[in-house]
Amino acid sequence: MSKQIMEGVRVLDLTNVLAGPFATLHLALLGAEVIKVERPGSGDLARKLGTVTELNEQLMGTSFLAQNSNKKSVTLNTKSAEGKEIFKKLVKDADVLVENFRPGVMDRLELGYDTLKEINPGLIYCAISGFGQTGPDAKKPAYDQIIQGLSGEMAVNGDERLNPLRTGFPVCDSVGGLNGAFAIMAALYHRERTGEGQFIDIAMLDSIMPLMGWVAANLLIADRDPVPMGNDNFTAAPSGVFNTADGHINIAANKQEQWESVCDVLGLPELKTDPRFQKRDIRKQNRKQLTPLLEEKLAQRATGEWVELLNANGVPSGAILSLRDALQQPQIKHRETLKEVPVDGIGNIPLFNLTARFEQTPGEITSPPPRLSAHTAEVLAGIGITEDELAELKAKHIV
């Protein structure tokens, strides 16, 4: 196999549930050695989360399986004096540490950045939290839906009938994790040039807001509040979801020539010169009059036929798939977005692979999500702990 881009980089992963594990997952898929430091007996809360009770009872819940490929699991009680000393030895040889506790937790454990940088000045310490390490809300608890609400993200979803509306997956957690992974890579690049480690403060609230850049710009620059428009695209018309003979279709006629092609394909050439629809900004204002005219024609054929016709005529369009169908579509299979991974005691399960395609340094799943404490003996042996010492640590519930 080709050399991986983060081969030789050691990451201590103290994270739980989603934002932190999603960040370290990407480092692991790129070849970093990610050592998941978990609480003895229970581990990451995500081990108990998911729809399959038997897997939750095995501490291998579907939520955990989804985010933890290529990682090693070590259990360590960092509240104990001996656990702290072992942890500091692990830090000495680490390149990166990632945690997503509330601000102040690591300092209270006497394992905060100021302590650890004395042991390892080159350490890159990334703290991921809901609101960041400072500010009036820093100490508040944060879950994805809380951040969705506070960011304005829920307020821009839905329509006049259903608003506010949360996104159907934990988008703030996921984006916070991606932002953390991006920042860690940048910090590693800086250290490569200067030798300096540093502290990185990632807030989920900060991370999600730039994703609304276009919507926010209309408010910040033009003082236009967003109007919840459901499945319509606020930048153009016709651009959104439309009914067909057998379901729905997405049409994105964002350019004038695409709008004119829609008229031609649907057999409505007269709309091109209709003063209500002739120009882009006027069409946007009159979309409620336009949509029924288009849907009357769209109702005459199935979604698949319209997709082929519109795309062939330069109008971006597509079916609206169920998640089940989306995961099985030929393009996703071609891109190997999912990979079948054998997990002992569970069988083969499909997991998301690295979705960035590197020509020289490809990354992919090379090992399954770990059972709790599966690598404790291996990792601690690397810092000189003997089998007898390990047995004693187990007896004391330190590992």
Spatial neighbors of 92 by CB under 8 A, at least 6 apart, are 119, 120
- pLDDT digit string (tens) for the chain, length 399 residues: 568 999 999 999 999 999 999 999 999 999 999 999 999 999 999 999 999 999 999 999 999 999 999 999 999 999 999 999 999 999 999 999 999 999 999 999 999 999 999 999 999 999 999 999 999 999 999 999 999 999 999 999 999 999 999 999 999 999 999 999 999 999 999 999 999 999 999 999 999 999 999 999 999 999 999 999 999 998 899 999 999 999 999 999 999 999 999 999 999 999 999 999 999 999 999 999 999 999 999 999 999 999 999 999 999 999 999 999 999 999 999 999 999 999 999 999 999 999 999 999 999 999 999 999 999 999 999 999 999 999 999 999 999
DSSP string over 21-47:
HHHHHHHHHTT-EEEEEE-TTT--GGG
230 DSSP assignment: T
173 as an active site residue: the answer is yes
E strands along 158-261, which residues?
198-203, 239-243, 248-252
3-state secondary structure 50-66: CCCHHHHHCCCCHHHHH
Q: At what angle do helices 144-151 and 171-194 cross, to 10 degrees?
A: 90
Report the half-sphere exposure of 358 (CA within 13 A, side-chain side): 16
Structural domains of the chain ordered from first start:
10-211+333-395 (3.40.50.10540), 248-319 (3.30.1540.10)
Q: How far is it, in rounded angstroms, from Cα 374 to Cα 378?
A: 9
> Which listed residue (44, 173, 223, 325) is catalytic?
173
Cα 289 → chain centroid: 38
CA neighbor of 91 nearest in space, from 64, 121, 65: 121
Q: How far is it, in rounded angstroms, from Cα 260 to Cα 237?
A: 11
Radius of gyration of the chain (CA): 25
CA angle 353, 355, 361 (to 5 degrees): 90
User: In this structure, what token pair is assigned to residue 331?
Assistant: 């393009």
Q: How many CB atoms lie within 10 A of CB 182?
A: 14
Question: Which backbone phi and psi does 195 adopt, to 5 degrees?
Answer: 85, 0
Sign of CA dihedral 113, 118, 120, 123: positive
